Amino acid sequence: MNKQQRHSIDGIKAQVVFILRMAELERKRLSFTRKRKIETSYSSLVLHASKLGLHVLTPGTWYESEEYARNCQDMLAQLKLRYEQA
């Protein structure tokens, strides 16, 4: 595993943790600012995942923080299958 792949894996993990934390707050109360932060973080996650060749689920057109959280969980599962068992 080279340095670029390690950087992308670390970026994905950091974005997943952030999105899951924001999604937890969104369950209590919706916030436009958090929505924007989640979407920006997900965009970064998509960028890093594409560098690693991981399948990225596209969120629907209607904003739902739980959908982003589910997609992040799927992304972590793919990451563990592909890179952390080798």
Share of the chain above pLDDT 70, in %: 98
What is the pLDDT averaged over residues 39-43?
95
Question: In sequence order, what DSSP letters do the residues of the chain get, joined into one string?
Answer: --HHHHHHHHHHHHHHHHHHHHHHHHHH---HHHHHHHHHHHHHHHHHHHHHT---PPP-SS--HHHHHHHHHHHHHHHHHHHS--
Contact yes or no for 45/15 (Cβ under 8 A): yes
Which of the four pLDDT bands, split at 50, 70 and 90, describes residue 66? Answer: very high
Q: What is the pLDDT, as a whole number, of residue 85?
A: 62
| Full-model pTM | 0.88
Contact yes or no for 48/8 (Cβ under 8 A): yes
